[in-house]
Amino acid sequence: MNDKGYTLLEALIQMVVFVLVCHVFILIILWALTIKTSIMTDEHSKWELFVFEMSTNLANATSLSVRQNQRTIMLQTANTWRYFDCYHNMIRQRVNGGHVPMLVGINNCQFKMSGNELTIAVEFPSGLKKERTYFVPIIEK
């Protein structure tokens, strides 16, 4: 008699091992997806750099106003006038006749002035909306 047959016990053990491997594989995929979404996107990075640069520009403001249907900021620091425009798909800085792109790849932007607070709202092509409010202590209107 030959005792080398395939038994029900062996089949159950192989099935348990297969199910465990499948679960581990699914857990690894789910973990990778959560890591991908938790890391800052390119838009978040661009926005944070823009926010930092704007706060640096606003720190030394002696005069500030919003013009042209809430699409331009006029900022005076010492002897220099700086203009920040919503221009096509970017926010650009105009100073001394030159243009410097500050935030590129946006759908829409808007500047609002309320008292001593300047609010900048931006919408990215992905649908992500960002808004930041700055307190500007010195404002001459």
Q: Is residue 140 domain-resident?
A: no
In a domain, 126, yes or no: yes
116 shares its domain with 49: yes
Q: Which domain holds residue 30?
A: 1-39
> Is residue 97 in a domain?
yes
d(CA 53, CA 67): 20
Given a contact cutoff of 8 angstroms between Cβ atoms, the answer to whether 138 and 61 are in contact is yes
CA distances from 120 to 28, 53, 106, 131 (A): 40, 13, 13, 6
CB 87 within 8 A of CB 72: no
Q: Are residues 61 and 123 in the same domain?
A: yes
Assigned token pair, 65: 């106003």
Would you say residue 129 lies in a domain? Answer: yes
Does residue 107 form part of some domain? yes
Are 55 and 98 part of one and the same domain? yes
* Residue 46 and residue 35 in one domain: no
Query: Would you give per-residue pLDDT tens digits along the chain (141 residues)?
Result: 557 777 888 899 999 999 999 999 999 999 888 877 666 678 888 999 999 999 988 888 888 888 878 889 988 887 888 899 998 899 999 988 889 999 999 999 999 988 889 999 999 988 889 999 999 886 554
Note whether 55 and 30 are same-domain residues: no
The answer, as to whether pTM is greater than 0.75, is no
Taking the mean position of all CA atoms in its chain, how far away is CA 112?
A: 20
Examine residue 128 and state whether it is found in any structural domain, yes or no.
yes
Same domain, 89 and 56: yes
Query: How far apart are alpha carbons 32 and 51 in whole angstroms?
Result: 30
